[in-house]
Amino acid sequence: MEGSIMSYQLFSSNHLLDSRLDRAWLNIPLLHCHPCPVVLFLAYFTLQVIYARRKHKISPPQTTGHPEFERIFRAQVNCSEYFPIFISLLWVAGIFFHQGVAAACGLLYLYTRFKYFQGYAAAAQGRLRPLYASAWLLWLLLGLAVAGLLAHFLLSVPSTWLAALARPLQLLGAW
């Protein structure tokens, strides 16, 4: 019991985890909504693969066969591969930069991924425009996350020149 209290005291006294970060976990209702649509999208994409398997009589674990099935299968796998990156960037950008901006980027990302899936299922060329849009949104979320992290850590250091460097980040909305 005493060891757990001491480890909590050590964890909570860490100078990098200040009260702003502690409060940030409680004040992010927009970010709390994103995992549900992500799970629904993944379920929808998986069901489309199941329907395509049945339609073209392709049994698991086979991943080749009719071109329509292969496109649907690849679209589902591609979306599944990028969702962990998306969720990570969304949360970091939302906590350290601004939850409203991150949530808006997140909704746009989900929309472009849905359009990507539909376009890829119809034809391989149909995936390109939504693919570029979703990649751009991931880069934007990465930029927001980096700006927020820089502002958070530079503003917590009591140095005037570091604070001067962080001032433009503060004006952008990060903290």
Q: What is the DSSP letter of 66?
A: S
In terms of C-beta density within 10 A (0-12 exposed, 13-18 middle, 19 or more buried), how is residue 29 classed? exposed
User: In the prediction, which pLDDT does 111 show?
Assistant: 97
Does pLDDT of 16 surpass 50?
no
User: In the prediction, which pLDDT does 31 show?
Assistant: 80
User: In the prediction, which pLDDT does 150 show?
Assistant: 86
CA 3 – CA 102 distance, rounded (Å) = 38
CA 136 – CA 120 distance, rounded (Å) = 18
Write down the catalytic residue from 54, 71, 113, 129: 54
Query: pLDDT band at 13, cuts 50/70/90?
Result: very low
Q: What are phi and psi of 150, to 5 degrees?
A: -60, -45
Q: Is 149 helix (H, G, I), strand (E, B) or coil?
A: helix
Write down the catalytic residue from 53, 71, 113, 127: 127
DSSP character string of 36-65: HHHHHHHHHHHHHHHHHHHHHT--TT---S
127 is catalytic: yes
* Residues 34 and 87: beta-carbon distance below 8 Å: yes
Q: What is the DSSP letter of 26?
A: T
54 is catalytic: yes
How many CB atoms are located within 10 Å of the residue 174 CB?
Answer: 24
Does pLDDT of 14 surpass 70?
no
User: In the prediction, which pLDDT does 27 show?
Assistant: 66
| Single pTM value for the model | 0.77
In terms of C-beta density within 10 A (0-12 exposed, 13-18 middle, 19 or more buried), how is residue 34 classed? buried
User: In the prediction, which pLDDT does 108 show?
Assistant: 97
Q: Tell me the pLDDT tens digit for each residue of 58-114.
A: 999 999 999 999 999 999 999 999 999 999 999 999 988 989 999 999 999 999 999
Strand (E) or helix (H) holding 139: helix 128-155
* Region 10-28 average pLDDT: 51
